[in-house]
Structure 1
Amino acid sequence: MLRWFAGQQIRNTASIGGNICNASPISDLNPVLMACGAKLHLASQGSKRVITLDSNFFLDYKKTCIKPNEVLVAILIPFTAQNEYVYSYKQSRRREDDLAIVNAGLRVVINGTKGQWRIRDCTLVYGGMSKTTVMASNTQQALIGREWNEATLQEATRLLSEELQLSWGCPWGHARVPQVSGHLILLQVLPDSLPPPLSSLSPSTSTLWHTQIQQVIITSSQGFQRVPCDQKAEDMVGRPVMHLSAPQQATGEARYLDDVPRLEGELYGGLVLSQHAHAIISVDASAALVMEGVVDYVSVTDVPGDNMIGINNDEPVFADGKVMSFGQIIGVVLATDKPLAQRAAKAVRVTYEDIHPPVITIEDAIRAGWFIGEEMKVEDGDVEKALSEAEHVLEGEVRVGGQDHFYLETQACLVVPKGEQEEVEILSSTQGVTAVQTNAARGLGIPRNRVVSKVKRIGGGFGGKETRGCYLSTAVAVAANKVQRPVRIMLDRNEDMMTSGGRHPFLGVYKVGFTSQGRITALDLKLYSNGGISADLSIPVMQRAVTHADNVYKIPNYRAVGKVCRTNLPPNTAFRGFGGPQGMIITEQWIERVAEFLKLPSEQVRRLNFYHDGDATPYGQIQPKVHVSRCWDTLLENTHYLTTWRSSVDLFNKSNKWKKRGLAIIPNRYCLAFGITFLNQAGALLHVYTDGSVLLSHGGMEMGQGLHTKMIQVCSHCFDLPMDRIHISETSSDKVPNTSPTAASVSTDMYGMAVKSCCDQIMERLKPFREADPEAGWDKWVERAYFERVNLSAQGFYKTPDLWFDWSKGKGNLYSYFSYGASASEVEVDTLTGDFTILRSDLVMDVGDSLNPAIDIGQVEGAFTQGLGLFTMEQCVYLEGNGRTQRGQLFTTGPGTYKIPAVSDIPVQLNVTLLDGTSNPQAIFSSKAVGEPPLFLAASVLFAIRDAVRASRAERGIIAPFQLDTPATCHTIRMACEDQFTQQAQQCFTNLSSTRKWTVNV
């Protein structure tokens, strides 16, 4: 367990003594030391004493019996004697660098003769079960003298569950109860040195624990199409070119917003944020304003323009008399530095008068009839008739959890008033310079031509900086305007997570008809999303969900209806996949149920229903080339999925009781284009200087995805120039106006075409000079063109053709083209804890003719990992409210409580193949988008886990249908396995049913 104690950087810095004296109830160290009977050597002036680290050491939460004048100088850990065994255990949501949900130190001393082994002594210590590390004294005493056998261990688990009662209202209590019920079984999986009577109680179990603590060597392979043999060596299109800013990012030289040096007179803003979900407020900032170094307090009364901004102008810059969600901006305190601004913000007194119980969940909103906009519907065929005539019909519900963007760089901006004619410059971490410009101009009440919005690069976006940063930048613009000084804010992580929204949680209610062979004949699907308090992008997110819920399946009678629920939560927003993953995972869940109902392999049912070339979607758009079958077949062939791979998994499961392996293969299709037609446009500006160097500007943001690198590749190809002759400095609204956000995965498609347009214009103007002297070369052609007064600047523009949609009919050409893929994953699940390891994942992705295989494969791997977090690990936890907390308050507001995948969570073996021979005439140089489409490939991990759980249940004769909603956390997986220990845990839940829940499922 101690291998997973904190991270290596923390272990290199912190101390053992400090951890003991901190007395955290979830310390990974204290349970082990208590179980061992460690001695603590204490010293004070003129005095020394030795105490035992036992149940008397911890007095209360983070309080010990160490006297105020004593220090811990040494720790004595006794050696184990013959037949004395010590085992430590930790259960967390992530293996590396994570706090424990529950942990344990277990010690047992046995003796016996003639094969009759009895427990002579034992110590059972647990963390995470109370406000201190606790010793299960009653259970210990009851075990002493008992024979070591299965019956004793069963009795031990019963005694333990009675002794360690845990309130349902305790943080993570829902996850702790089933884990503790199974902890005594861990005595069966002690190291191999146990005597045969102990180790033989549960055969084939000990290997799991060795594999958990060994250093795993991660391997990978990448397959991609090579450029043609006759392509010039200088032509970089299609070659695996390194991300151009990678060296600067690796060395720390790359500049982000908060690296911009402080300006003269610059102030820092501290946000005053709502701490209630729905309340009338009154504000008193006097205590903050008297603090030395505090300059001003800015609120709704200081907005010179319109306080209502956003896509639909339905969300305030500052709360005006009432708050509608947690984290809503009430005001900004301006001070000379960040720590002071934040202290002063806390000093602002806000009085809340709650209006009524807030609407937090999807179910709350449905009951209240509180929705955003009209329902969105796509329908094809006669659904009612097909369902009534179907051989079989299944109904059910699927929940999909939300997800935080957790970009490395939080929301940030710096606003600089220019001091004349209302001009203002905004530097921000945004995916849309025009959105920042537009909203700031509206809030300030000035024309947009007075606002310049700039971005050098941003530290990740994933959709979270498409709209949500505009509220921060507009608030800061109002503040800077009031004091006429530069103002900067970079949110702390907890502020960012409280205010910025995330991926929409979804509820899907389905009714599906099918034949005995597995052919899907009808689907009636109702989708509900939790949109939060304002519209933001919730409507287009739902539009994409209802147009992606067919995934790769031809369903002749299809109806998908979507409604966005309005709730008193911060507005949810764009997130990589933009509603597509939610709609698709719901479909894959009911596909799995159909296969289980028919007792058919799920891959057989999936393949039977694939789209084929020329098939139309339910909204009437033709798919000319459907590459899903090629992706699927390539994957089956590369992995031997149906033969040796499946056989090896089945063989493993027959040989192991408490760990099971699972295998799954999942297809996906992603549709490319902005769902809002007018956004499918792009501009670029190109300057050629007389030395032959090129300065390129376009409307897209570089956020780590390699957009600038690809644009330079395009320009290099068009000009036949080395890439180092071309430079992109920044993205700015005064270079390329009226830009669409860098989103929807189509920036390379659109800006690539706009850049090519610029290049084509320049090459056409240089044509006379190239024809007159073909051997002169680029520099001479440019020089001669300049002396002939030829314009060496060009403005390029592109709009994606043939896009239209009529939502009143649910028909049209909504997308430019389609991308396909497939993935297969093998996992190993510890059925006692719900932990899992991804042993192998194989991904095949259709990216057309890749512009840059290195970047594209990186995007596939990154999207897969982010999807892994969505489907298995990342859990946004909201509080139910219990007097000390408020209903609708986000609990997971930082890396301590919110876990994204770490290095040890990715597949041990990861193989990525870019499908060849899939040229796409709809995009630049026959490429395809790659940012969002691969995310859903991670669904194969979820269904591989489900396959392993199914094997565990089948071994105990459990054939009832079950479902793994997302995220499938270790707790969810553990409870789905259903054994005697989960039954005990379920009884604990029943006994605690009168206690108010701690969390609420939004």
Structure 2
Amino acid sequence: KNLERKVEKRAVGLNMKKGKQQRSRTAPNVDVRMRDLVENGLTVHHLSANACLVPICQLHGAAVTTVEGIGNTKTRLHPVQERIAKAHGSQCGFCTPGMVMSMYTLLRNKPKPSMEDITEALGGNLCRCTGYQEIIDGYRTFCEVCHHGTFTTRIQGKVELFRKEDLLPLDPTQDLIFPPELIRMAESPEQTTQKFHGERMTWISPITLDELVQLKTQYPQAPVVMGNTNVGLDIKFKGVLHPIIISPTRVRELFGVEQRPEGVCIGAGCSLSTVQSVLERCVCSLPAEHTQTYAALLEQLRHVGGQQIRNVATLGGNVASAYPNSDLNPILAAGRCSLVPLDKDFFVGFRKTTLRPDELVLSVFIPISRKGEVVRAFRHAPRKTNALPTVTTGMRVWFHDGSDVVREMSVYYGGVGASCTFCAERTSQQVTGRPWNEATLNEAYRVLVDEVTLGVSAPGGQVVFRRSLTLSLFFRFYLHVLQYLKDMNSAMEPLPCVIWPGYQEFQDAVEVRSAQDPVGQPVPHSSALTHATGEAVYCDDIPHMNREVFLSLVTSTKAHAKIIHIDVSRALDMPGVVDVITAKDIPGQKFRSFTGIDEEVLVEDEVTCVGQIICAVVADTKQHGKLAAAALKVTYEDLPDRIFTTEEAVEQCSFYAPQRTLQRGDIHMAFQEAEHIYEGEIRVGGQEHFYMETQSMLVIPAREQKEVKVYLSAQHPTCAQMSVAETLGIPANRVSCHVKRVGGAFGGKITKASILACITAVAAWKTERPVRCVLERGEDMLITGGRHPVLGKYKVGFMNDGKIIAADVHYFVNAGNTPDESVTYTEMIFVWCNTNCKSNLEDMTVYFFINCLLILLIMNSWCPDSTGFLPLLDVCVCVCVCVCVCVCVCVCVVILKAAALVHIYKDGSVLVSHGGIEMGQGLHTKVQQVVSRELNIPLSLIHISETCTSAVPNTNPTAASFGTDANGMAVWDACQTLYKRLEPVRKKDPSGTWKSWIATAFQERISLSATGFYRGHELSMDWQKQEGRPYTYFTYAVCCSEVELDCLTGEYRTVRADIVVDIGKSINPAIDIGQIKGAFMQGLGLYTMEELKFSPSGSLHTRGPGQYKIPAVCDVPLQFNVYLLPGSQNPFAIYSSKGIGEPIVFLGSSVFFAMKEAITAARTDVGLSGPFPLCTPATPEHACLACNTHFIQMIPKMEAGTSPPWAMELP
């Protein structure tokens, strides 16, 4: 029973948005105020915590504040809420409450923070929309030194995106106090052991150490829970059941901190944040030679999880959990820290130690370092912050007095042991007694390579890379010690990583029709304030309804198998289960066809991928549903010929029709004339949408006339409406779909949302009860697919002057087990994509900017590779200029149309309905700006409630960046009709007001409602004749990125990115600039970070933020500038604007190409020349392997064995 439990949340109206994730969460942050036991309970401290990790039982005696508790739009806003809204730091808004609460807690603890404090506070939050820059710039205004004046300028005019002078001042005296009744309760002498009894477990919280020991003796198998960062995840995601849980968070002896001459003793119950504070005080108060271990621990602690994790995770829990890739255990072991005792024999297996079930960790003693002793810790992770390390190490060396001869050495690694922290004992012994020089280093390499081994199927994969990291991190330690011995200033310390204010340039609105005309102005997002206060309603925020039940899905565990039997008996017998929905319960069509090929709503006979939906459990609570779904048993019979990779599909000719080809000229003759020919291939990995709000829906059946209401988070409500109607066998006019807003989508909520809506509707139809379906993050990633992996093979012919005269390029797209939208959308890949491959992976679907990104990358790869044969270009090692020319509208003629409905009420207020979906791109805001200009009324009179198929039917998906183009024109058309109707009224009373004109029009029986329609331009493509006009216009952009690459580890950082974009005349520069930065960061993730990994059996390994890393605050370019090109025209869109959200994603590849140039330089240093393959994403692993340094060359090649690799190479 967690704090975020839905029933409690709805009952009290708390807003704790959650991305249905694991450790790396973003939205459900809360401020927790409690008495600090480290300070003997005399002080109250604030900590930011994840509601999804903190058990509610543990909060007895604490004051919890959610985002609603600090301010709202009805009474007063808190400055933290106002600044993120007015600084344009909120787009879809789902992550905004978490950002607000993280900053709020920081300000409660430190009213004048530094930029380092702000980036650290926000480091545990994730956002998929904004690119973080606007959030950082908004909160930068709280800094004592604020370089606000450099934020934004215009090419003409002096107005900024926002003015600091207009913001509410921070007044700490107005913040909430700690409730006096909680103080009295904490000081009460009558405190006793607390027990909380749940349905399946009992929570016991003792008050004294003796009681704790007795409980542990009585219940030796009961876990001791402090931070709940491990046990809570095991319960929620792995189905582990603990009948008894012991939580000693009130036992003072576990929170003691004792400073001794020989070191510091820290209670096992102290949070990692407390440990951090204690060690910082020690470092400041002691001589440097005594604080080597403390400094090394501090360096690791800065990167352990996010601040929300460190605030609750404990030192004892971190040690006793015994994770093989622990950040702290290697350095604690290397630094001679003692714990029963903590040494090479303490860790005995995966999450196993020498602690007996009835033993407890009371404290950890961290000794001071001795004279002549050097201690350091290093880590490598997929992301600098809030990411589990790939490899981590703690190393200590102690020299004989006045010499460089090693007296004693300890080397510990995390992430390379079979199941626990690994002690490189042989390497330490080999170095002991030797002088610290290059000969000793080389000898250590030889032993270390032999001592640290990993099998090809080692969990986590990356075998060669991880082994090379053990060498490169040892080399880094060697250099650090060498500098210590020679008393040199360190060149190894990390450079400052402060994010500077963003710089933007944009043009003043050229055509201003009135003083209140908002077009061209940086108007904040219309829902920004409600996002910041938590008042914005998303699908799962809809209040719990009477008799409502929950839907839990049962998915396939096989990639290709025949279903023999579905045994539902055990599930039906479990508590709270209402029914089990199978394909036999579907009253209408059992198949959905999105591209002419049928796709089963619920699989009945044969599964073709892991994660295919077989059936669903309906239960009174989500927990009951999950337990029943896990108990339901499906019997399979494996089928042969599983296909996973693109190569396997090509080899077996497993393709979807049609296969497209474009050919110009005689390619054979051109190759004969070419003076040089270059052939190669490149693989482009897929990408998970990772929208913050997972797939969510609520279906309400009506007893009268077979009506169904569907509330969902989707981009295409009409698709869901038609799908539900056909699945239930009822007319579409009985189904109404409602979308208030969407917490991010990026193409992933079109067809997938419709399939899930069908299943939920069948459950509601059969049970005659409202049914809610909200996917967990792992379910969402498993079921919904993502961006297509692509294999590009090319043969290029060119002349001595660099002119390319022939190109034979083949693209193969891994479409998965069903075509979904693959066929339709590959026709949009610049009309280039050849073949969709059929495989037994989850079917891939639409993604932000479709797949043009992948094809552009392939083209930009073979162009530089081919010119690499010629001395034509002077290329900077680390700087890459990447030019992007991108389409932003679709091939399909049907899709480019829109309708709208505008009502003017008697009081002059205006209600607008259109077919577009607000999902963070500011569509509603721009539409309101259109209405304001055309009707010449202030924005305050205009309201958009929701998108509903009952108000505006036959809508098209909001996708491909044409939402404003189409819906803006439809609303413009409706406003023109209304404006003309009101013309006679205005002529009669030219000095009247808007409200008086409307009152007169009402009295004169003039219709104050109008529909608008936009048909779009005629587009076509004749594939037989290979001609046509598939696009309306183009969006142009160019980006220059500067990157620093660590060739030893593959880590990089983007020093600077400058983007120039031609977007015509921007309707809202603030929203467009935010979209540009967000898209760039998503592209950066696509090309350099985000990697989908599948097991050899076809199961997705990366099912959550713990394994799949999207860009975070630490990945923002240190200098991030955007320039909107002035004076541009576009006659094909409203007000000469252009679609902007999707085309910019490709500019993230500038970082990829900059990395490639840096890798080229590194390869030159080791004597390698010529083109080399670098596939995307260019993760640190791929970058490091491409550098092919001598550390990579030291690793023996893996011999092909009987064990399959941990993950497959895709595409």
TM-score by length of 2: 0.74
The one-letter code sitting in structure 1 at the alignment partner of 2:672 is S
The root-mean-square deviation of aligned C-alpha atoms, in Å, is 1.6
Are the equivalent residues in 1 in contact too, given 2:891–2:1019 (CA < 8 A)? no
Are the equivalent residues in 1 in contact too, given 2:692–2:743 (CA < 8 A)? yes
Aligned residue in 1 for 2:550: 268
- The residue correspondences of 1:660-671 to structure 2 (distance < 5 A) are 662-671=878-887
Tell me how far apart the structure 1 counterparts of residues 945 and 482 of structure 2 sit (CA, whole Å): 61
- The residue correspondences of 1:971-990 to structure 2 (distance < 5 A) are 971-985=1181-1195, 987=1196, 989-990=1197-1198
Helix, strand or coil at the partner of 1:827:
strand
Are the equivalent residues in 1 in contact too, given 2:893–2:1018 (CA < 8 A)? no
Q: 1:795 aligns with which of 994, 1001, 1011?
A: 1011
Are the equivalent residues in 1 in contact too, given 2:660–2:834 (CA < 8 A)? yes
Aligned residue in 1 for 2:1056: 840
Q: 2:585 aligns with which of 281, 302, 316?
A: 302
Q: 1:382 aligns with which of 650, 666, 682?
A: 666
Tell me how far apart the structure 1 counterparts of residues 833 and 1134 of structure 2 sit (CA, whole Å): 34
Q: 2:355 aligns with which of 57, 63, 66?
A: 66
Tell me how far apart the structure 1 counterparts of residues 638 and 556 of structure 2 sit (CA, whole Å): 12
Tell me how far apart the structure 1 counterparts of residues 822 and 816 of structure 2 sit (CA, whole Å): 9
What whole-Å deviation, never above 9, does each CA across 1:814-871 have from its counterpart, x for those lacking one?
A: 0110111110111111111000011111111111100100000000000000000000
TM-score by length of 1: 0.89
Are the equivalent residues in 2 in contact too, given 1:376–1:546 (CA < 8 A)? no
Q: 1:13 aligns with which of 306, 312, 329?
A: 312
Aligned residue in 2 for 1:996: 1204
Aligned residue in 2 for 1:33: 332
Aligned residue in 1 for 2:982: 766
Helix, strand or coil at the partner of 1:891:
coil
Aligned residue in 2 for 1:172: 460
Aligned residue in 1 for 2:950: 734
The one-letter code sitting in structure 2 at the alignment partner of 1:978 is N
Aligned residue in 2 for 1:102: 391
1:577 aligned onto 2:849: yes
Are the equivalent residues in 1 in contact too, given 2:456–2:1198 (CA < 8 A)? no
What whole-Å deviation, never above 9, does each CA across 1:374-430 have from its counterpart, x for those lacking one?
A: 111223333222222122221110100000000000001100001122110100110
Q: CA deviation at 1:668?
A: 0.7
Aligned residue in 1 for 2:295: none
Helix, strand or coil at the partner of 1:381:
coil
Tell me how far apart the structure 2 counterparts of residues 602 and 536 of structure 1 sit (CA, whole Å): 45
Aligned residue in 2 for 1:3: 302
Tell me how far apart the structure 1 counterparts of residues 804 and 481 of structure 2 sit (CA, whole Å): 50
1:248 aligned onto 2:248: no
Q: CA deviation at 1:703?
A: 0.4
Are the equivalent residues in 1 in contact too, given 2:499–2:1117 (CA < 8 A)? no
Helix, strand or coil at the partner of 1:1000:
coil
Tell me how far apart the structure 1 counterparts of residues 1062 and 492 of structure 2 sit (CA, whole Å): 36
Q: 1:874 aligns with which of 1084, 1090, 1094?
A: 1090
Instruction: Report percent identity of matched pairs.
Output: 43
Are the equivalent residues in 1 in contact too, given 2:782–2:1100 (CA < 8 A)? yes
Aligned residue in 1 for 2:427: 139
Helix, strand or coil at the partner of 1:121:
strand
Q: 2:1164 aligns with which of 954, 976, 979?
A: 954
Aligned residue in 1 for 2:516: 234
Tell me how far apart the structure 2 counterparts of residues 931 and 870 of structure 1 sit (CA, whole Å): 15
Q: CA deviation at 1:6?
A: 1.1
Q: 2:601 aligns with which of 303, 309, 317?
A: 317
Helix, strand or coil at the partner of 1:894:
coil
The one-letter code sitting in structure 1 at the alignment partner of 2:545 is L
Q: CA deviation at 1:994?
A: 5.5
> For the structure 1 residues 561 and 577, does the alpha-carbon distance in structure 2 shift closer, same or farther, using more than 3 Å as the test?
closer
Are the equivalent residues in 1 in contact too, given 2:892–2:1019 (CA < 8 A)? no
Aligned residue in 1 for 2:413: 126
Q: 2:749 aligns with which of 465, 490, 499?
A: 465
Are the equivalent residues in 1 in contact too, given 2:514–2:936 (CA < 8 A)? no
1:419 aligned onto 2:716: no
- The residue correspondences of 1:490-505 to structure 2 (distance < 5 A) are 490-505=774-789
What whole-Å deviation, never above 9, does each CA across 1:296-351 have from its counterpart, x for those lacking one?
A: 01100000011111413511110111211111111111110111111111111111
1:207 aligned onto 2:497: no
- The residue correspondences of 1:585-664 to structure 2 (distance < 5 A) are 585-601=857-873, 662-664=878-880
What whole-Å deviation, never above 9, does each CA across 1:267-296 have from its counterpart, x for those lacking one?
A: 101111111111111200100101121110
What whole-Å deviation, never above 9, does each CA across 1:84-118 have from its counterpart, x for those lacking one?
A: 101101111111100111110011112375xx622
Q: 1:216 aligns with which of 498, 518, 525?
A: 498
Aligned residue in 2 for 1:709: 925
What whole-Å deviation, never above 9, does each CA across 1:609-668 have from its counterpart, x for those lacking one?
A: xxxxxxxxxxxxxxxxxxxxxxxxxxxxxxxxxxxxx5xxxxxxxxxxxxxx61100101
Q: 2:380 aligns with which of 75, 84, 91?
A: 91
Aligned residue in 2 for 1:183: 473
Q: CA deviation at 1:66?
A: 1.8
What whole-Å deviation, never above 9, does each CA across 1:218-266 have from its counterpart, x for those lacking one?
A: 3321111112386533110011111111111111111100000011111
1:154 aligned onto 2:442: yes
1:899 aligned onto 2:1181: no
Tell me how far apart the structure 2 counterparts of residues 910 and 208 of structure 1 sit (CA, whole Å): 26
Q: 1:934 aligns with which of 1120, 1144, 1149?
A: 1144
Helix, strand or coil at the partner of 2:413:
strand
Tell me how far apart the structure 2 counterparts of residues 964 and 676 of structure 1 sit (CA, whole Å): 34
Tell me how far apart the structure 2 counterparts of residues 752 and 764 of structure 1 sit (CA, whole Å): 18
Tell me how far apart the structure 1 counterparts of residues 626 and 1035 of structure 2 sit (CA, whole Å): 46
Q: CA deviation at 1:70?
A: 2.3
What whole-Å deviation, never above 9, does each CA across 1:424-480 have from its counterpart, x for those lacking one?
A: 010011000001001111111111111101100010000000211111110000111
Tell me how far apart the structure 2 counterparts of residues 413 and 493 of structure 1 sit (CA, whole Å): 15
> For the structure 1 residues 313 and 415, does the alpha-carbon distance in structure 2 shift closer, same or farther, using more than 3 Å as the test?
farther
Are the equivalent residues in 2 in contact too, given 1:677–1:804 (CA < 8 A)? yes
The one-letter code sitting in structure 1 at the alignment partner of 2:605 is G
**Residues paired across the two proteins, number:** 906
Q: Which moved more, 1:260-269 or 1:951-960?
A: 951-960
Q: CA deviation at 1:515?
A: 2.1
Tell me how far apart the structure 1 counterparts of residues 1199 and 395 of structure 2 sit (CA, whole Å): 27
The one-letter code sitting in structure 1 at the alignment partner of 2:377 is S
Are the equivalent residues in 1 in contact too, given 2:513–2:933 (CA < 8 A)? no
> For the structure 1 residues 922 and 208, does the alpha-carbon distance in structure 2 shift closer, same or farther, using more than 3 Å as the test?
farther
Q: CA deviation at 1:191?
A: 7.0
Are the equivalent residues in 1 in contact too, given 2:500–2:1118 (CA < 8 A)? yes
The one-letter code sitting in structure 2 at the alignment partner of 1:239 is Q
Tell me how far apart the structure 2 counterparts of residues 579 and 541 of structure 1 sit (CA, whole Å): 8
Tell me how far apart the structure 1 counterparts of residues 1064 and 668 of structure 2 sit (CA, whole Å): 39
Are the equivalent residues in 2 in contact too, given 1:685–1:795 (CA < 8 A)? yes
1:562 aligned onto 2:834: yes
The one-letter code sitting in structure 1 at the alignment partner of 2:606 is K
Helix, strand or coil at the partner of 1:594:
helix
Aligned residue in 2 for 1:683: 899
Q: CA deviation at 1:192?
A: 8.4
Tell me how far apart the structure 2 counterparts of residues 903 and 946 of structure 1 sit (CA, whole Å): 23
Aligned residue in 1 for 2:1028: 812
Q: Which moved more, 1:125-134 or 1:182-191?
A: 182-191
Aligned residue in 2 for 1:908: 1118
Aligned residue in 1 for 2:571: 288
Are the equivalent residues in 1 in contact too, given 2:480–2:492 (CA < 8 A)? no
Helix, strand or coil at the partner of 2:584:
helix
Helix, strand or coil at the partner of 2:484:
coil
Q: CA deviation at 1:209?
A: 3.4
Tell me how far apart the structure 1 counterparts of residues 1032 and 628 of structure 2 sit (CA, whole Å): 51
Helix, strand or coil at the partner of 1:462:
coil
1:393 aligned onto 2:680: no
Helix, strand or coil at the partner of 1:949:
helix
Tell me how far apart the structure 1 counterparts of residues 502 and 1181 of structure 2 sit (CA, whole Å): 30
Helix, strand or coil at the partner of 1:210:
coil
Aligned residue in 1 for 2:964: 748
Tell me how far apart the structure 2 counterparts of residues 207 and 440 of structure 1 sit (CA, whole Å): 63
